Amino acid sequence: MTQTRPKPSSPCTKLCLLDAATGLCEGCGRTRDEIALWGSLSEMQRRAVMATLEARLRAAFPARVPSPAAS
């Protein structure tokens, strides 16, 4: 019996567009370096980055990301 490893967590939304002004992916909020290193990060490191993404996107693109109070 072989056990498959769970797929690593990823915030990728398949909207991969790096904003020149902020350096963030407009889809997920990660930086180019974070995207490049994602596969080598531990699950704990990935989750730590993912915990910051909503706030990053809200700060970088306030007109596009609804605030939590609006949800």
Of residues 39 and 3, more confidence is placed in 39
* Residue type for position 40: S
| Residue 57: closest CA among 17, 34, 14, 28 | 28
Torsion of CA 13, 18, 22, 24, to 10 degrees: 30
Of residues 50 and 7, more confidence is placed in 50
Q: What is the mean pLDDT of the chain?
A: 88
Residue 7, pLDDT > 80, answer: no
Of residues 19 and 69, more confidence is placed in 19
Q: Count CA within 13 A, CB hemisphere, residue 61.
A: 18
For residue 64, the model assigns a pLDDT of 80
**Tens-place pLDDT, residues 10-42:** 999 999 999 999 999 999 999 999 999 999 999
Question: Which residues, in sequence order, are bridge partners of residue 25?
Answer: 18
Question: Which residues, in sequence order, are bridge partners of residue 18?
Answer: 25
